[in-house]
A and B are shown apart, each in its own frame.
Chain A
Amino acid sequence: MSFKNLFIEHQRSAEEQAWIDEEIAEQEARFSKIEKEMQDLAPQRDTWYHEFLDRVSTIGFNMDGDDKLVIKPEDLPVKPEGHRDRVVWKHGADGD
C-alpha cells in the first residue's frame, strides 16, 4: 500500500504498537477464513468460468466499454494441466 502521500514523522507508543499487533493477529485469522471459504467455492467457480467462456464465444468479450469481440471457440484458453484453483493471493504477485 503506497498512496505516496504525506507522512509526518512521529513516535509510535507501546500502546499503539500493541493495538496494531492485536489487529494483525485478527487480520491473519480473517485472511485464513476467507482463503478457506474461497477454496470451498471452487466447484461453483468452475461452472462460472465455463459459463463465462460460453458467453464470450457467443455474445462477446467486453474489450473496451460496450465494444465486444466474439472470441472464436478455438481461441479460448485451456485450463492448465494440474491447475489448482486459487483466487486469493495474500500479497499478489509478490508471493506469500
Chain B
Amino acid sequence: MARPHIEPFCDRDVHFKNMLLPGFGRDMGFKMLSLDTDSGACSMTVQFGGGYKQAPGFSWSEMEMMVVEGELRVGDRSVRKGHYFFVPAGYAMPAISSEQGALVLMMYNTAEPSHVEATEHHPQCQLNLYHDVDSYMDIPWAVGNVTKPSVASGCLIKLLNYNPISHAMTFLYCMTPNFYQDNISYHDCAEESYHLWGTSWMMQFGDLPTGGYFWRPAYINHGAFASEFGCIALGRTDSKLFNHFHYNPWSTPVQNRERSGARLYQRDPLLYRWAVSKDHNHPHGPEDFETTMPRRGEGFDQAGARVSDGKQHSHWHGHHHHDHGHHHD
C-alpha cells in the first residue's frame, strides 16, 4: 500500500548495498530511502564507484536524478554536484560513467529501478518532458511563496520540475541560519525531502541532519520549523502543495483530512456539493472532457472547415449594432 511514513531517517546510519538488478553497471551501491510496496517506485541514495560505467539505455519508470557529490560523464558532457535530471519513462540516456566516483539521488516515480540497454527512445516515451539543469549554478534562489499561505521569509526555493496536471513539484529549498516558522503544517499531498547539507528541526521529529530524509504521506502534522545554522535540501510533492497551517499539536491525520474537506466546502461549495452528493467517486476521478472529447483527427477536412485565413476577427469592425431609436452620424 504505497510508501509508508519514513520520518526521520538518516542515510548516514546505514551501509550501501550492491545494486544487483540487471542493466546497471558494476560498483553501484544504494541506500533505500523509501519504496512503494505496490509499484516498486522508490528513492535511493546511490554511490557510483570510481570507474563506473553504464551503457546507453532507458528505464520503464520515470526517473529523477540529482548529483550530490563528485562528477558524472553523461554522454559527452561532464555534470557536477547540483545537476538535476528529469528523465521520462522510455527516454534513452547516453552512456553514463564516473572516473572518480559520484554520490547521487535517484528517484524512480512509477516503477522499480530498471535499465534497458538502448540507443533509441521507447515509442511511448514523452520525449518533450526531458530536461536537465545545473541547479546550483544556473537557477537563482526565489522566495518560497509558491503557494499561499506561504512559508516564512528565509526559506527559499529553486523549482526544478512542475507537473502541470497534478501540480507535483521537485525543488531545491534552503533555510537561512536562524530560520524559524511557528506554525504546524500538513498537506493534501505526500511530501519528500533529502537534506543535501545542514540540519533543520521539526517539532514532532527533532533534528534532521545532512543525509536526513523523510517520506511523509498526506495529512500528517509537521512543524514548527527551525534551522540554527541553515540547510539545503531537495524536496518533492506528488500533487498540489497547499499549506494548511494551524496550532493544534494534537490533531490527527483523520482530523486534518476532515478539516481539508471543510475548507474545500467553505471555498468551493458548489463543486464540493456536486462531488459528494452523487455517485461521482469513480476510482480515476470524474471525467475530464479535455481528455475524452471527440477531436477532428488527421483525416478531417481541415481546409474545408476553415471560414477565415486564421487572422480575422469579424467582431472587430469599428462600430456597434444596437437599436436605440436614433442614427449615428
A and B co-occur in one complex = yes
- Binary CB contact string for chain B from 123 to 160 against chain A (1 if under 8 A, 0 otherwise): 01110010000000000000001001111110000000
Contact A71 B41 (CB under 8 A): no
Q: B126 to chain A: which residues have CB within 8 Å?
A: 6
B1 within 8 A of A: yes
Q: How many pairs, one residue from A and one from B, have CB atoms within 8 Å of each other in the complex?
A: 189
Contact B2 A1 (CB under 8 A): yes
B126 to chain A: closest residue by CB: A6
For the complex, count residues of A whose C-beta is within 8 A of B. Answer: 56
Chain A 1-49 residues near chain B, CB threshold 8 A: 1-8, 10, 12-13, 15-16, 19-20, 23-24, 26-27, 30-31, 34, 38, 41, 44-45, 48-49
By DSSP majority rule, is chain B's interface helix, strand, loop, or mixed? loop
Contact A1 B36 (CB under 8 A): yes
Contact of A7 among B3, B4, B89 (CB under 8 A): B89
- Which of A2, A59, A62, A94 has its CB near the most chain B CB atoms (within 10 A)? A62
Q: A1 to chain B: which residues have CB within 8 Å?
A: 2-3, 36, 39, 41, 109, 190, 238
CB distance from A46 to the nearest CB of B (A): 9
A-B pairs, 8 with minimum CB distance:
A92-B217, A64-B149, A93-B253, A87-B204, A7-B110, A77-B248, A93-B257, A62-B183
Binding site for B on A (CB under 8 A): 1-8, 10, 12-13, 15-16, 19-20, 23-24, 26-27, 30-31, 34, 38, 41, 44-45, 48-49, 52-53, 55-56, 59-66, 68, 71, 76-77, 79-80, 83, 86-94
Q: Can you pick out 27 interface pairs between chain A and chain B where the beta carbons lie within 8 Å of each other?
A: A1-B109, A1-B190, A2-B166, A2-B238, A4-B165, A5-B88, A12-B40, A19-B20, A19-B21, A23-B42, A27-B32, A41-B206, A49-B249, A52-B182, A61-B182, A61-B245, A62-B152, A62-B183, A62-B245, A66-B153, A68-B182, A91-B1, A91-B2, A91-B4, A93-B219, A93-B253, A93-B254
